[in-house]
Structure formats: structure tokens, C-alpha cells
A and B are shown apart, each in its own frame.
Chain A
Amino acid sequence: GENVEQHPSTLSVQEGDSAVIKCTYSDSASNYFPWYKQELGKGPQLIIDIRSNVGEKKDQRIAVTLNKTAKHFSLHITETQPEDSAVYFCAASIYNYGQNFVFGPGTRLSVLP
């Protein structure tokens, strides 16, 4: 079955710096890769997603890149702000389960003022 690895597990950056979180997946049939932000005591919030027919997608300060050949995808956050502090999860679609995912273990991002 699908396996998703995520690195680093924790990341501290200074406000205004960039943050990069990397994920790898195992199932070449996966074709949809969302990223979620989870704040303490809340459910995961979808922040950006990318489909396998696209190499890069950007939304303001957030961008995601996908390398299908290497089965890697990454989240890039520029000009980080304290409110970006949260746990971030990557996910890959599960073949045959259509609209569901295997999640990575998460990255705890701390943005220091």
C-alpha cells in the first residue's frame, strides 16, 4: 500500500525566512497531493493541493512542487509569519479509494518573531 514519508519532523525559522517541507510517496498510481495545516485543538485545514499532471502550483506565499519521477513533493512557504506556526501534513491519494489519502507523520513549524 501507499507509504508517505515527511521531513523534517520539526522546523524552526525566523520570521520572514522561508520554510520547506519535503515528502516522498511510494505508490506511482497516486495522482493527487494535498497539504494540510493543523493548529492546536483544531481539525486539519487544506492549504494547497497539486495534481499529478502539474509540476508546480503557487498561492500567494505558499507553493507546492511535484516530481513524479522521483515521487517527491514539497511545500514552500515564503516570508513566514508567526501565524504560520502549526503542524503541517502532506498526503497522497490512495489508489482505489478515490477520494482518500495516506498522510505523512507531520512537520511542526515554529516561526520565531
Chain B
Amino acid sequence: ETGVTQSPTHLIKTRGQQVTLRCSSQSGHNTVSWYQQALGQGPQFIFQYYREEENGRGNFPPRFSGLQFPNYSSELNVNALELDDSALYLCASWTSGGGLFFGEGSRLTVL
């Protein structure tokens, strides 16, 4: 049990649409990160939020955006969906014991 919960588990969207993915982590986990994992590949860092501010971003365009809320929940928003956005999106947070722990992910399919 990592204490990181994601929703929805699966969803299907059409190219050009927008999607919001949600994550909740345990109290005290101030840092949340989002990763994209394409089929057959390792996760790729999208961005990190600390105390509701973005403080690190990987090589992803601005149509990938996020929010973090005071209740330790967060969102990943993707606008103008493209076929290549089809992937498993992973939320992760650091625990007090150390280590980055992932949720089970949201699998997005873009048609």
C-alpha cells in the first residue's frame, strides 16, 4: 500500500479533447510528481508540485498542466489530446520514510 490513489483507472478520449486525471496522497506528502509511461517503455517525468507550486518539469509541452490542492490531492490536465498521448499516467509522492512511491495509474487511450 503506497498511500497514492488515482482515478479513473481507465478512460477513452478522442483526439483534440481535454482530460483531467486525479490523484490523492497521504497527509503530509507535500511533493507530488506525475509521470507518463508509454506501452513497453519506462516512465517519463512530466512535472512535480511542491506546496501547490510547480517546481520542476520534464520535456513536455505546456498543454500538459497540473494543480495541487491543500488537501494533498492533485490533478493532471492535458489539452488538445493527440494519439501519442495514449499511455499510463502515474502519480507519485515521497513518503516520510524516503523513496518515491507510485499509484496504480490511469490508462488513457486517445482515438
Contact with B along A39-59 (1 / 0, CB 8 A): 001111110010000000000
Residues B100 and A89 in contact, CB atoms below 8 Å apart: no
CB pair B101–A98 under 8 Å, yes or no, is no
Residues of B within 8 A of A102 (CB): 45
User: Chain A's nearest CB lies how many Å from the CB of B86?
Assistant: 16
Q: Is A94 an interface residue (CB 8 A)?
A: yes
A66→B65 CA distance, assembly (Å):
35
By the criterion CB–CB under 8 Å, are A103 and B42 in contact? Answer: yes
Known: A43-B90, A49-B99. A97 touches B104 (CB 8 A): no
Question: Among residues 56 to 113 in chain A, which have CB atoms less than 8 Å away from a CB atom of chain B?
Answer: 89, 91, 94, 96-106
Note all chain B residues with C-beta closer than 8 A to A105.
Answer: 41-42
- Do B101 and A96 touch (CB < 8 A)? no
Question: In this complex, what residue of B is CB-closest to A96?
Answer: B56
**Cα-based distance from A45 to B95 in the complex (angstroms):** 13
Other-chain contact of A99, B4, B33, B104 (Cβ < 8 Å):
B33
Report the minimal beta-carbon distance from B4 to chain A, rounded to whole angstroms.
Answer: 8
A97 to B55 Cα, complex, angstroms: 8
A59: min CB distance to chain B, Å: 12
What residue in chain A is nearest B57 (Cβ atoms)? A97
Q: Is the CB of B45 within 8 A of A89?
A: no
Residues of chain B contacted by A6 (CB below 8 angstroms): 42
Contacts of A49 in B (CB 8 A): 98-99
- Residue pair A89, B42 in contact (C-beta under 8 Å): yes
Q: Please name 9 pairs of A and B residues whose Cβ atoms are closer than 8 Å in the assembled complex, sorted by A.
A: A41-B104, A43-B4, A49-B99, A96-B56, A97-B56, A98-B48, A99-B94, A103-B42, A103-B44
| Interface, chain A (partner B; CB < 8 A) | 4, 6, 34, 36, 41-46, 49, 89, 91, 94, 96-106
Q: A43-B90, A100-B33 are in contact. List 19 more A-B contacts (CB 8 A).
A: A6-B42, A34-B99, A34-B100, A43-B2, A44-B43, A49-B98, A91-B42, A94-B56, A97-B45, A97-B58, A98-B56, A99-B33, A99-B48, A100-B45, A100-B48, A100-B56, A101-B45, A101-B100, A106-B42
